Amino acid sequence: MRDSLLAIRGQVTLRVLDAATGAVLRVHEGPNAISYMSPVILIDLLVQSNFDSSAVSPETVDYSLATAAEHPADASRGFALAETLVPSPIHNAIRYMRVGTDATAAARTDTALVSPVAGAESFVRISNIDFPTNNSVRFVGTLGAEQANGNTLREVALLTRGNTSKPVTDPSASTNSRVFARRVTTPSPKDDTVQFEYAWTLSFA
């Protein structure tokens, strides 16, 4: 599977914050599993065939670009079924994290959380993106005091935006959001007295 072992590393820092004061109560940090889907997402970002449509970029010369509609099924590349090309740059941008309650170890084969918290309450909307080094990017988002209460959170995934029409009010409406990476954290009970701040750093070797 060497062609699927993209040289990316990921590190997730979870800070549990007092919702009233902002004080840091606990910090959990550790590596993630980069999914087999990650190189597919990056390849789709390079292709972006939606840019070639007449509605987006009218061409004055008759020209046809043949683009494959899917990544072929190949168990040696991590996929038992073909993966459809996602041709839109909007859909491929990383914009969310999502939390869940299952402690199954993270693996490159992960395509979803094992036990996500129901509905929009499980989504961490990314609010800040920066670049710690020339070969890394960090996504930061906060799970609010009103979200996912009554759950003990153990897993978190980094997701592309997908084709939701409600990226702010209801990211759970997306139908083709894809998992870039997943991490299992120390069990962390969630109630309305705390916020969870996730900082997810991807480094390209």
Per-residue model confidence (pLDDT) at position 62: 59
Average pLDDT of the residues in 2-29? 88
Contacts of 49 by beta carbon, 8 Å cutoff, 6+ apart: 65, 67, 85, 87
Q: Give the model's pLDDT for residue 1.
A: 44
Q: What share of the chain is helix, strand, coil (3-state, %, to 5)?
A: 15, 40, 45
27, 12 contact by CB (below 8 A): no
pLDDT at 203 over 90: yes
Q: Which two tokens stand for residue 94?
A: 């990383």
Per-residue pLDDT at 53: 63
Residue listed under structure tokens 């701040």: 197
**Residue 152 pLDDT > 80, yes or no?**
yes
pTM equals 0.88
SS3 87: coil
Q: Give the model confidence (pLDDT) of 113-136 as tens digits.
A: 999 999 889 999 999 999 999 999
Residue 88 has pLDDT above 90, yes or no: no
| Mean pLDDT within 33-58 | 80
